[in-house]
Amino acid sequence: MEQDFKLPLLGDRVPSFEAQTTRGRIRFPEDYKGKWVVLFSHPADFTPVCTTEFVAFQKRYDKFKELNCELIGLSIDQVFSHIKWVEWIREKLGIEIEFPIIADDQGKIARLMGMIHPGKGTNTVRAVFIVDPKGILRAVLYYPQEVGRNMDEILRLVKALQISDESGVAMPANWPNNELIGDKVIIPPASDEETARDRLEKARAGEFECFDWWFCYKKL
């Protein structure tokens, strides 16, 4: 049973698998090389909270794509159920779900990725795995069945990871609306005395701002 709930570790390459989806078969992460991916699981098709989540993801799909990021859904349902649910969402709610949904009816991928909900049978949790263009797992979010996800936070997290990679900076709490430094980003702390002294000199010269040598920040 322990294997069922084992999560991949941040910084590891995500496990590879092949799967049937509502948009055809995929090989993950090989088919998504060069792209960011949000792989997320939901407990079951034809459930109210999951329906609101899929609508919310779809309404932000263009924003994810602007970040070179693809969405992939998953649950332990057959592909026929996924197709019928997607049809229902289109016919009843007027929303076309454009991203693939994995049919993990044997639960193999859910166990591989630690998505099974302990104590609730074979249902998958509301898990979110953010994978970078090299297939490396960069972030994991877990939600209980009773609480739907905040898709704007997932978008924010993808964007923050991309900026951190590109600029070698860290992002403050609630970025880009931090209570102390607004939309500015944090320069990694100095790791030796010389760099610490240099930080304060550069701050005095106006290259960036500091509360102290270990807490410096700047505009992007």
pLDDT of 6 reads 65
Query: From its phi and psi, is residue 46 left (phi > 0), alpha (psi between -120 and 50) or beta?
Result: left
CB burial of residue 191 (10 Å; 0-12, 13-18, 19+):
exposed
C-beta separation of 23 from 70 below 8 A: no
pLDDT of 4 reads 47
Count of positions (residues) in the chain: 220
- Mean pLDDT, the chain, integer: 92
Assign domain 2-149 one CATH number from 3.30.1360.170, 3.40.30.10, 3.40.50.2300, 1.10.3720.10.
Answer: 3.40.30.10
pLDDT of 64 reads 98
Assign domain 168-220 one CATH number from 3.20.20.140, 3.90.226.30, 3.30.1020.10, 3.40.50.920.
Answer: 3.30.1020.10
pLDDT of 115 reads 84
Q: Distance between CA 137 and CA 29 in Å, rounded?
A: 11
pLDDT of 56 reads 98
Output the pTM of the full model. 0.91
pLDDT of 31 reads 97
Amino acid letter at 103? A
Amino acid letter at 82? H
Residues with catalytic function: 50
pLDDT of 83 reads 97
pLDDT of 95 reads 98
C-beta separation of 13 from 119 below 8 A: no
pLDDT of 2 reads 43
Regions of the chain with pLDDT less than 70:
1-6, 117-122
Of residues 72, 52, 79, the one with CA closest to residue 146: 52
C-beta separation of 75 from 42 below 8 A: yes
Domain boundaries, the chain: 2-149, 168-220
